[in-house]
Structure 1
């Protein structure tokens, strides 16, 4: 028995070696007909390997500069308060310490002609512990911030000087004091650690911040304590210190970070963006896979006589399959190799081109694991789309040697090839999902792409079915165009598939971008209040409200107490260990959250579950949770939430959940506590002001000037300025996403060209026969032009519908916004589809019409 198995194994090896010899011999004829095949694979592999390599380079760059970005080996952050003596002693025992305070404040010109929101940063004499803060003049930071002639020094970003039209040497009013601008900031090493900013940087000393009066009980000030350890500990040691710090000072409520996660927000953004672009690259590969299938099918059509000859000489279908599978894999490896070379070069090109744009220096290099991922994706895609047509080659009959078949039938391949194709597709999708940052989004994306692919096949078949059953038309050209759409071997499936996916993705992204802009600039801007006033002290609140009512008598005012706190546990489970019910919904647990207390249900909120507490409630602390956030986290009424506020841990039971209108940008909080929860706790107030009708910009600016002058320690945020800032970020992301997504459209164009090339042989037969019976070149061009125009228009309609549905789902279900179909986007998609299909189609038709009829007629 073992000898039989051994003999079978030897014969199989011999058969494969023989198939390999035949495959390599046929490849000596060159790569003609496979340039589209190779380009499709190379493009997708280059996109995936390039994107993942750039992401890795950014991640490595953050890691290498982690100390400078964080400002130390460790960072302890508190909100509202500074460390107490015990906490300071503990931090000091770890190494050299630098104290930094950050907050938002209003900076005003000395002549009170203008004011601006600034990101204020107060630093001590040892700042920065790592990296270097460079000033335009080259002077020392300590000297620049020192007190001169009774006035503290300050350094600022150039944007602030331009915004207020001031120069170095001028004076700015800051809170209850004035500071002199002594220099301009060129580089700030730890700027990335601060997160999103709504104003330019203004930097003063920690000694000066007391004179401003901005730091009051309950003020929204973040205190950072950076530690430099000597010698620098390993990542493992840092993690252990982080855990010890949380346990040793359990009531501190501080957020501890190490250089290993110096900028977690930026890292999350990089991971999400890289995931999206990787999925776009995978979509480009899938679109290119259609080109692979077209190229393989067209190539096998030219090899029918060769395959039939093999069969006549006794070759099995499996042997034929092996020959051409080897050839396809060899060609795929050529495309993959080209794609990997391009992908390896992309980080170097990105590092050079974006050195002044990216927030962190790329750690440029060649990353084998990322390139390996591109290799795996490329091979699996090539196999997934080549196995089907190769499987059909298994059953090419020997009789094909004796008759010329212009169009192949639609016979399905054998079950073994169907199974292999399905298995390859499943493996490809599984790898994409398992390696994704957000597996839920990746699953939705891949399912949507697969659904669109299947739907496109169905649409193509429906088009052919309808075209076949249309009543005869009088126009000869139109009748010929309709016949070409449904005839055997028609280009309809290839054209619809090649353009449909690429255009659908482009339409979806453009609609998402357009709706986000509309939501920001129209809906939100129209509903949002005009101003947020932050850090209103309790003893100033009544006077501040009186001023606003005098200056803006027709405006709507809202005021609530406001504190900042961090969720430390849910149902007794640490927030670091808590697993949300919905993946990717842990944003509530990251960082500090604004919290408040209310006796009555807040406006623009509706109870979803549970009951609101009585006005005079005095029992154990209760909390109302945002309904959507509670569902995502898996919380319900009766669960407990523990928050750390002002160094004190408070536990409350969830009494109810609320549906909140976040889009209005009004005063909304994830957590609203019963009033007795924070009895006696020092806190500031948050107030909003808005008009029902649109008011002139001058009115808003005049109010801002009055408030800033009368209450210098209150921070005023003009909502339109904040929306404009966010809008600029969205616009930059949109251009980057559209640019990356154009890879898919390029792949579609390549596949379209390949599809037309694959149908070249059949078109030659048609053109020669029609010209022989009297058709003119003009009539043929018109007929083919109508055919391509119909296919392009139908594909565009599908792209608008599919892309619109995808964009609607993202905007409404994922982002919670309102969706509007933008007609310009639909028109643009239709125009692109028509131009591409008609343009490429007529180019191919012109070549077909130039063929000599004699060689074709001789074979009929």
Structure 2
């Protein structure tokens, strides 16, 4: 029987029984567990930083997955069928309809923008509306919620010369309508029968600039809004008889009508733009979480270093008893690993619960119902990020523990240790960092952005580290001031084990991000407000029929004689090929994918449009009559690899037209003047039915009263023309952008919170040095007030310098984003700079003095006895 069994005779007799020696492999873990019996004191920041970053990544990933799963699950409802085929400016021909009808039951829906009007004369009021005309089959899938509840057929039924209509409550409020009131849409009279509470297919038809008006297709035909070239979209939804054959059916329709120009969608991608936006925002928030983890990594390194400094005597004792350096390393690696596992576990638990909490709190506001669940992919990604961050930042200080000498038992506060660990630990740290970078790139859908982010993050970390070292070097070389407080503050900045590098690094990262976001916000706000009155048109007018173009132009000049009127022809076309390559085979950069996502507005012109500058090639003569030519926007042409001489094929009104690129243009899009990606030579569309697009620019941007008066006049005299007030549209865009910025700021506060935690942890870890300083200085006669002043000056200087660096780095980052990514003018904000300075001073001085005050309260006798 083995000696480690207790049921031996010797054991029964009460004699000592030899036990088996613990395995070398489990020894580090046993020692680590014994040390952790004393609690996790000193690791609060370590745990908080890891938990915060991991929770952000796990929560964002889980919520995003739940939302995309909801979109996929509700795809048929959101699309209104299993498949949808869309045409612009024309209805499907009988042959095309028969191809679609072969798949199953078909529902026809038409969408367009038009002016809804109520009242007459001076009491006339009009507003832009998103019109949706449906047939008797709608909705094939899902439920349309109406208030008061009633059958859709009854709500849209005709009553004499008027047709029933349902509207968004916002439209009823704008036109001051109540149930039973009449209003006009084009030439049709409508009766308000109820308001729309929920449309099952709202996301597939898009949310526009105006409130919804739902009518029957017969009412749409009576409105006279269906004119040649009118900007109306016809959607043909199919509920498949054989759903499993969906892909083959879509291919059959496309091949059976190759010239139709159908935009086809299936239930698998019912709301592609929303899904893309969700993915992009998820990726951004994941990078924010990773930034928080990187900042938290500094806190991990500080906590590990502080813990090992406190354990120098224990480590030296291990060494004196014969433990090799690698055993010491293994013991504390196991200890750090156990603590990291606790922090990561807390983060995963919190992050995994976020979708459930969000669904309970704001689930009714989401575009689709979500079913929160545990997401293994999001959990594993957050786990991997947390573990690699902990490993990458802990290996360096743990490597230094390998070489703590036995003499540390006697000269703990005199003799310093190695400044760098052994080569093997440097190599292990490098491998952990490379693994972290590889994971970030692999997990990203836009890997070029991930690589740019990693390069920027590494650069910022290096720069801030160098700035910290530079501050210490400068402080060391500055002349010593006569003031005792100033002299002590200056010495503390560059002393051995000074907090300068940690403060600059942890606080600098968070402040840099906040300054960047504040300046981007300022630039966007300025672009949407300050510049518009002098540069943007006051109105856009759509759907002007060719027969009315001259009369409408005269009308505008009569009503606004000082205004500037510009009129251009407009059609809609879908790009089929670019440079001989099929559109569906192209993989453009994400910022240019919109060019191929749907049909594009196109025009023709004899001369170069205003707001465009020729960037290559030559413009065609005014009397050009040769093969079709096209002018392409230069930046977009570069993104698709197009050059002068390449061919472009566009489907317009069911016809495929191929034109040669004759020249490239630079376009000033920010002016909001009329301009297009593609401008064709006039002979290309000779005889094709189309409408005109007009802009009116009032002097000095006009005023609200003038714009409302003109809008009423247009609605009364030209009811089929759609008037869009630019200021109103931009206000809505500004609200959307503002809400997005609020969400981004809120998410970015996670990074600032990590920075604050790291800063607080670093200052707390450095207080044991402050205790000895305070005791010695008080013994030599220093007063508490003088010491507080010295420490306050030190922290204020570090906070001020850090804020200056953060303002500079944040300004540079915001400039790059605004000018080179958003293509806007950069706007400086003094408030953002002063805010960063204030935040830095409050945090550093506040946290610093809180800890210092505790250090100053220590009794000298106890400390002096241990020196």
Alignment CA distance shift 1:216-1:379 (3 Å): same
Q: Which residue of 2 aligns with 1:136?
A: 147
Q: CA RMSD in A?
A: 1.4
Distance 2:89 2:828 in 1: 45
Q: Which residue of 2 aligns with 1:528?
A: 536
1:399 is the counterpart of 2:410: no
Out of 184, 187, 192, the position equivalent to 1:176 is 187
| 1:466, distance to aligned residue in structure 2 (A) | 1.0
Alignment CA distance shift 1:306-1:244 (3 Å): farther
1:333 is the counterpart of 2:341: yes
Q: Which residue of 2 aligns with 1:348?
A: 356
Question: How far does the alpha carbon of each residue in 1:386-425 deviate from its partner, in whole angstroms, 9 at most, with x for none?
Answer: 1111111111122112212268556111222222222222
Q: Which residue of 1 aligns with 2:19?
A: none
| 1:584, distance to aligned residue in structure 2 (A) | 4.5
1:671 is the counterpart of 2:678: yes
| 1:308, distance to aligned residue in structure 2 (A) | 1.4
Question: How far does the alpha carbon of each residue in 1:47-67 deviate from its partner, in whole angstroms, 9 at most, with x for none?
Answer: 000011111111011111111
Out of 194, 212, 222, the position equivalent to 1:201 is 212
| 1:682, distance to aligned residue in structure 2 (A) | 0.8
State whether residues 289 and 385 of structure 1, in contact with CA within 8 Å, keep that contact through their aligned partners in structure 2: yes
State whether residues 293 and 385 of structure 1, in contact with CA within 8 Å, keep that contact through their aligned partners in structure 2: yes
Greater alpha carbon shift after TM alignment, 62-71 vs 106-115: 106-115
Alignment CA distance shift 1:424-1:245 (3 Å): farther
Question: How far does the alpha carbon of each residue in 1:631-678 deviate from its partner, in whole angstroms, 9 at most, with x for none?
Answer: 112211122211111111111111111000000111010111111111
Q: Which residue of 2 aligns with 1:301?
A: 309
Question: How far does the alpha carbon of each residue in 1:500-554 deviate from its partner, in whole angstroms, 9 at most, with x for none?
Answer: 1111111111211221111111124531100000010100000000101111111
The equivalences for 1:747-758 within 5 A come to 747-758=754-765
Distance 1:239 1:843 in 2: 67
The equivalences for 1:297-696 within 5 A come to 297-405=305-413, 408=416, 411-580=419-588, 582=589, 584-696=591-703
Distance 2:710 2:377 in 1: 57
Distance 1:579 1:177 in 2: 45
1:792 is the counterpart of 2:803: no
Q: Which residue of 2 aligns with 1:28?
A: 37
Q: Which residue of 2 aligns with 1:243?
A: 251
Greater alpha carbon shift after TM alignment, 397-406 vs 756-765: 397-406
Q: Which residue of 2 aligns with 1:60?
A: 69
| 1:69, distance to aligned residue in structure 2 (A) | 0.9
Query: 2:529 aligns to what SS in structure 1?
Result: helix
State whether residues 49 and 340 of structure 1, in contact with CA within 8 Å, keep that contact through their aligned partners in structure 2: yes
Q: Which residue of 2 aligns with 1:262?
A: 270
Question: How far does the alpha carbon of each residue in 1:736-760 deviate from its partner, in whole angstroms, 9 at most, with x for none?
Answer: 1111110011111110111012112
| 1:316, distance to aligned residue in structure 2 (A) | 1.9
State whether residues 67 and 368 of structure 2, in contact with CA within 8 Å, keep that contact through their aligned partners in structure 1: yes
Greater alpha carbon shift after TM alignment, 354-363 vs 387-396: 354-363
| 1:430, distance to aligned residue in structure 2 (A) | 2.2
Query: 1:565 aligns to what SS in structure 2?
Result: strand
State whether residues 107 and 118 of structure 1, in contact with CA within 8 Å, keep that contact through their aligned partners in structure 2: yes
Distance 1:214 1:410 in 2: 82
1:214 is the counterpart of 2:233: no
Q: Which runs of 5+ in 1 are unaligned?
A: 1-12
Alignment CA distance shift 1:408-1:175 (3 Å): farther
Question: How far does the alpha carbon of each residue in 1:272-322 deviate from its partner, in whole angstroms, 9 at most, with x for none?
Answer: 111111000000000000000000000000111111122222222222111
Greater alpha carbon shift after TM alignment, 114-123 vs 688-697: 688-697
Q: Which residue of 2 aligns with 1:102?
A: 111
Query: 1:78 aligns to what SS in structure 2?
Result: strand
Q: Which residue of 1 aligns with 2:727?
A: 720
| 1:486, distance to aligned residue in structure 2 (A) | 0.6
| 1:627, distance to aligned residue in structure 2 (A) | 0.8
Distance 1:516 1:75 in 2: 36
Distance 2:628 2:75 in 1: 40
1:838 is the counterpart of 2:849: no
Taking structure 2 as the reference length, the TM-score comes to 0.96
| 1:438, distance to aligned residue in structure 2 (A) | 2.4
| 1:835, distance to aligned residue in structure 2 (A) | 0.8
Runs of 4+ with deviation above 6 angstroms? none
Alignment CA distance shift 1:256-1:811 (3 Å): same
Alignment CA distance shift 1:749-1:52 (3 Å): same
Alignment CA distance shift 1:732-1:598 (3 Å): same
Q: Which residue of 1 aligns with 2:156?
A: 145
Distance 1:239 1:828 in 2: 56
| 1:583, distance to aligned residue in structure 2 (A) | 5.2
Q: Which residue of 1 aligns with 2:239?
A: 228
Q: Which residue of 1 aligns with 2:196?
A: 185
Distance 1:19 1:836 in 2: 39
Distance 2:689 2:177 in 1: 37
Q: Which residue of 1 aligns with 2:288?
A: 280
Out of 693, 705, 710, the position equivalent to 1:698 is 705
Distance 1:721 1:121 in 2: 22
State whether residues 522 and 828 of structure 2, in contact with CA within 8 Å, keep that contact through their aligned partners in structure 1: no
Distance 1:445 1:516 in 2: 22
Q: Which runs of 5+ in 2 are unaligned?
A: 1-21
Q: Which residue of 1 aligns with 2:46?
A: 37
State whether residues 161 and 189 of structure 2, in contact with CA within 8 Å, keep that contact through their aligned partners in structure 1: no
Distance 2:67 2:532 in 1: 33
Query: 2:848 aligns to what SS in structure 1?
Result: helix
State whether residues 404 and 859 of structure 1, in contact with CA within 8 Å, keep that contact through their aligned partners in structure 2: no
Out of 772, 780, 784, the position equivalent to 2:787 is 780
| 1:231, distance to aligned residue in structure 2 (A) | 5.0
The equivalences for 1:792-831 within 5 A come to 792-831=799-838
| 1:790, distance to aligned residue in structure 2 (A) | 1.0
Alignment CA distance shift 1:99-1:196 (3 Å): same
Query: 1:203 aligns to what SS in structure 2?
Result: strand
Q: Which residue of 2 aligns with 1:7?
A: none
User: How many residues are treated as equivalent by the alignment?
Assistant: 844
1:89 is the counterpart of 2:98: yes
| 1:690, distance to aligned residue in structure 2 (A) | 0.2
Greater alpha carbon shift after TM alignment, 711-720 vs 192-201: 192-201
Out of 49, 67, 75, the position equivalent to 2:58 is 49
Query: 1:354 aligns to what SS in structure 2?
Result: helix
Alignment CA distance shift 1:242-1:513 (3 Å): farther
Greater alpha carbon shift after TM alignment, 405-414 vs 279-288: 405-414
| 1:764, distance to aligned residue in structure 2 (A) | 1.1
State whether residues 785 and 842 of structure 1, in contact with CA within 8 Å, keep that contact through their aligned partners in structure 2: yes
1:78 is the counterpart of 2:87: yes
Distance 1:108 1:828 in 2: 48
1:127 is the counterpart of 2:135: no
| 1:14, distance to aligned residue in structure 2 (A) | 4.7
Query: 1:576 aligns to what SS in structure 2?
Result: helix
Greater alpha carbon shift after TM alignment, 354-363 vs 170-179: 354-363
Query: 2:130 aligns to what SS in structure 1?
Result: strand
State whether residues 449 and 501 of structure 1, in contact with CA within 8 Å, keep that contact through their aligned partners in structure 2: no
Distance 2:568 2:414 in 1: 78
Alignment CA distance shift 1:274-1:140 (3 Å): same
Taking structure 1 as the reference length, the TM-score comes to 0.96
Distance 1:504 1:678 in 2: 53
